[in-house]
Amino acid sequence: MQRLLMLVVLSGGWMTACTGGETPSSSSPVSAAEWSKIGETETYTYYVDHGSIRKADETVTMSDLFDYKMAQTEADIPALSKITVREYDCQNRKSQPVKTTWYAEHMGSGAVARSTGAAGKLTTSVSGTSTAVLMKIACGI
């Protein structure tokens, strides 16, 4: 067990050293994601990264991307897309955002406009919403 832990720690350190530990400002985490279009509304198109799905008992995390047709402004900061890591309680059909990052450009590109942390409260997904659709994908229901 100690060898496995040491291997994980050393691998993480090696990867950080090789990449410099940071994503260059001109690139984004989108390049590593495989976005699959899930749906579209009048306001946005939404996608998921099936490769980001992580399951632990009845809890699942998955990344989604909302690409807005018009800039969304909050505190006078416009953004055209956001990537959210969302946590799903599959048994109780609830979810919460863990981290949301808003981007200046479409498809999670350009400068980071703003970022928010966990909401701290699981909420029930309302049928017919994009969040309910995302839950079905994350939970396999």
**H or E, element range at 7:** helix 2-19
Domain span at residue 76 reads: 29-139
Rounded to 5 degrees, φ, ψ at 49 are -110, 100
Could you tell me the pLDDT band of residue 133, with boundaries at 50, 70 and 90?
very high
* pLDDT of 6: 37
pLDDT at 24 exceeding the cut of 90: no
Q: Is 83 left (phi over 0), alpha (psi -120 to 50) or beta?
A: beta
pLDDT at 19 exceeding the cut of 70: no
* pLDDT of 115: 92
Number of domains into which the chain is organized: 1
Q: Which two tokens stand for residue 14?
A: 């090696």
pLDDT at 4 exceeding the cut of 60: no
How far is C-alpha 126 from the geometric centre of its chain's CA atoms?
20
pLDDT at 52 exceeding the cut of 60: yes
Rounded to 5 degrees, φ, ψ at 119 are -75, -30
CATH number at residue 65: 2.40.128.710
User: Is residue 63 in a domain?
Assistant: yes
Q: Could you tell me how many helices (H) and strands (E) the chain has, helices first? A: 2, 7
Could you tell me the pLDDT band of residue 125, with boundaries at 50, 70 and 90?
confident
